[in-house]
Structure 1
Amino acid sequence: MRAAALKWVLWDVKDTLLKVRFSVGEQYCREAERMGLSLNPVAVNSAFRQAYKSYSSRYPNYGIGQGLNGHSWWTAVVKDTFSLCGVQDSALLQTLSNSLYHNFCNAQNWEVFNDSKKVLEGCSSLGLKLGVVSNFDNRLETILKSCDLLSHFSFLITSEQAGVAKPSLLIFEQALQKCGVSAAQVAHVGDHYINDYLSSRTLGIHGFLLDRDNKYDRSEVVPKGHRLNSLEELPSRLQQPMD
């Protein structure tokens, strides 16, 4: 039986196509310095990890199921981060959190990987349509536009918009509906073994794992051609028969 021809490639974004340019501690400290505060980036990083972990556990996926949204969730995380670092002025905390929420929409806070644009263009030149499936809040469209990536995609699905986050299969099912084809005609590329590779494959999508830093055991990815050290490997792999 002949395999179905590939029609779509779905993409994760953060740490697949782009990454945060500086550490959270550095970026938060820069904003705090504008407000006259002098904080230690290492301490702020540690406080951020603590606040982020707490809110992710208590209010998963930006607290969508508990009446929150991306803006209110991130505002609370930022406030808690600075509170843990000794900042107690409520007006100052509000200003810092609002400024940082909007700052992270800007291209200067994100670094597009060197291979991203070339490979997106390469996939399109193969006649493939592209979409995004990302555990991100609703700033993603603005971020992709500011990084000159948005025009490559026919649609975006964020976990905030979808109401569910990877590795839930529901977010991939929403993507398949937008694609309008069977899972066998769709590939997905991402850097997370469970959220991207395993969950997409569970639905019959051709999952590709991007492993830039060799974090994963090669035997964990089957077929072996679906493990990528660089996005530049992808277009040729997509032209081979899909296992």
Structure 2
Amino acid sequence: MSPIPQKKNLFLCLDAFGTLFTPTKPIPTTYAEAALKHGIAINTPEPATQVSSSFKSAFARLSSEHPNYGRATGMGAEKWWAKVIKETFTPFLDPNETFPKYLVPELLHTYSSRKGYTLYPDVLPFFRMIQHMKTHRIRHGASHGLWPWDKTIVGVITNSDDRVPRILSSLGVNMGPWHYPVLRAPGPKDGEYDIDFTVLSYDVGAEKPDRRIFAAAEDMLDQKLKAASMVGDEDFRAEEFEKVYVGDDIHKDVFGAQDAGWSSVLLKRDPNLQGGQGYGLKMEEKGEDIGEGGEVISETKLVSQVGSLLDLCAWPRQVSERHEISPVRYVYIKGPEEVSLEKDKRRLRKQT
């Protein structure tokens, strides 16, 4: 079984894209529609497919020449994305055709705000639930049984440029104004936020599953607790917090967090369910396959899986009480970065 949570405080970090929000429609479709609107005709039976191929080529080239969304070479994210968009559509222009003036600004705006994204239906109810539990603790001096943590601090760790905080804010998430590496001391008007701070690969210079991005989040937690102590709020230490990361990618999110010493939860929504419902908690066993040269060919790690953010209420209780759990086996094959799923008909029994 996984390590049993013993700490009374929770440092909960979440992935963003695919965990909190998703494109309103497939991105290549939106790109193709915008191009047509601005006079670029993509004369193929499937314009979105052609745009997708061209986008991938442009993205790969710019990523190689100007890594980290252009930050590594001083270009910056906005200019970097502008070049990606221009290189995506230039192959579809006639020889004497000029690039449409407003196509780049439109797509930059679309994918920096709620215009291009939709919040998953369980996200705001989840944050409202946490705020309710925080209020209960303040009023009654004890944690609520549904959410057993005395204190909860929430962050976002994401492989992205600097657009994510703006996107989440536009979608109705109450965002704290801080992001790595700076966290100022709370002022008199500061209140409770849905997300206390964000940690972006753009700022860290490393992407999940690299341990450095999780270490950056730990640094932000330490800063926040020290700042709160300085202004007379509760005195907590970082080592008193259970660190949990939730995301939709088995390798970058789940295994990456585990390798950094965090607990992790895979969020795998059922597309057939409406309203963000889940199915409780599922887990799987742990094991490894070792090659002749000693390298890890495949590995099976303990994975806690939920179908909704609201299912996280069951995570500490079910794991700590060792309830019988329906296991799902995930095997990550290193090299081609493929993940296979094998449903195990066996059930894990109580262990003493």
- Supply the distance in 2 between the matched residues of 1:89 and 1:142 (Cα, whole angstroms): 37
Matching of residue 6 in structure 1 with residue 16 in structure 2:
no
- Note if contact 1:47-1:85 (Cα within 8 Å) is conserved in structure 2: no
* 89 and 21 in structure 1: CA distance in 2 versus 1, 3 angstrom threshold: farther
Residue in structure 1 matched with residue 342 of structure 2 by the alignment: none
**Cα shift at 1:241:** 4.9
1:177 aligns with 2:219: yes
Counterpart in the other structure of 2:111: 104
User: Which residue does 1:161 correspond to in 2?
Assistant: 203
Separation of aligned partners in 2, 1:62 and 1:141: 16
Out of 244, 250, 255, the residue aligned to residue 198 of structure 1 is 255
> Which residue of the partner structure matches residue 331 of structure 2?
none
| Deviating more after overlay: 12-21 vs 174-183 | 174-183
Contact 1:47 1:81 in 2 (8 A): yes
Q: 1:57: Cα distance to partner? A: 4.3
Q: Deviation digits for residues 95-114 of structure 1, max 9, x if unmatched? A: 42233112212212101111
CA, structure 1 residues 94+36, in 2 after alignment: closer, same or farther (shift >3 Å)?
closer
* Structure 1 residues 205 and 2: CA distance shift in structure 2, 3 A: closer
Unpaired segments of 5 or more residues in structure 1?
none
SS in 2 for 1:166: coil
**Structure 1 residue aligned with 2:53:** 46
State the AA in 1 paired with 2:310.
E
More helix by share: 1
Give the direction of change, closer, same or farther, for the CA distance of 1:2–1:111 in structure 2 (3 Å limit): closer
State the Cα deviation string for residues 113-171 of structure 1 (Å, max 9, x = none).
Answer: 11122223334424422111111111111111110113411101111122222122111
Cα–Cα, structure 1 residues 28 and 2, in superposed 2: closer, same or farther, change >3 Å?
closer
* Residue 149 in structure 1 maps to residue 173 in structure 2: yes
User: In the alignment, which residue of structure 2 is the partner of 1:80?
Assistant: 87
Work out which of the two has the higher radius of gyration on C-alpha atoms and give 1 or 2. 2
- Corresponding letter in the other structure for 1:179: L
Superposition TM-score, scaled by structure 2 size: 0.61
- Pick aligned residue for 1:56 from 38, 50, 63: 63
**Which residue number in structure 2 is paired with residue 133 of structure 1?**
157
For 1:119, the equivalent position in structure 2 comes to 126
- The offset of 1:15, in angstroms, is 0.3
User: 2:313 aligns to what?
Assistant: 235
Cα displacement (A) at 1:61: 2.2
Q: Is the CA contact 1:19–1:111 (under 8 Å) kept in the aligned structure 2?
A: yes
Q: Is the 8 A contact 1:21 1:109 kept in 2?
A: yes
Supply the distance in 1 between the matched residues of 2:121 and 2:71 (Cα, whole angstroms): 34
CA RMSD of superposed structures (Å) = 2.9
Is the 1:115–1:230 Cα contact (8 Å) retained in structure 2? yes
- Counterpart of 2:340 in structure 1 is none
| Unaligned ranges ≥5, structure 2 | 134-146, 176-193, 223-237, 272-282, 286-298, 323-352
In structure 2, how many angstroms separate the alpha carbons of the residues matched to 1:28 and 1:193?
28
Residue number in structure 2 paired with 1:30: 33
**Counterpart of 1:167 in 2: which secondary structure?**
coil
Please tell me whether the aligned partners of residues 183 and 204 of structure 1 are also in contact (alpha carbons under 8 angstroms). Answer: no
Question: What residue is the counterpart of 1:65 in the other structure?
Answer: 72
Q: Secondary structure at the match of 1:132?
A: strand
Provide closer, same or farther for how the CA distance between residues 34 and 146 of structure 1 changes in structure 2, counting only shifts above 3 A.
same
Is 1:18 aligned to 2:40, yes or no?
no
Closer, same or farther: CA 239–94 of 1 in aligned 2, 3 Å: farther
Partner Cα distance (1:5, 1:201) in 2: 20
CA contact (8 A) 2:90 2:99 kept: no
Distance 1:2 1:238 in 2: 6
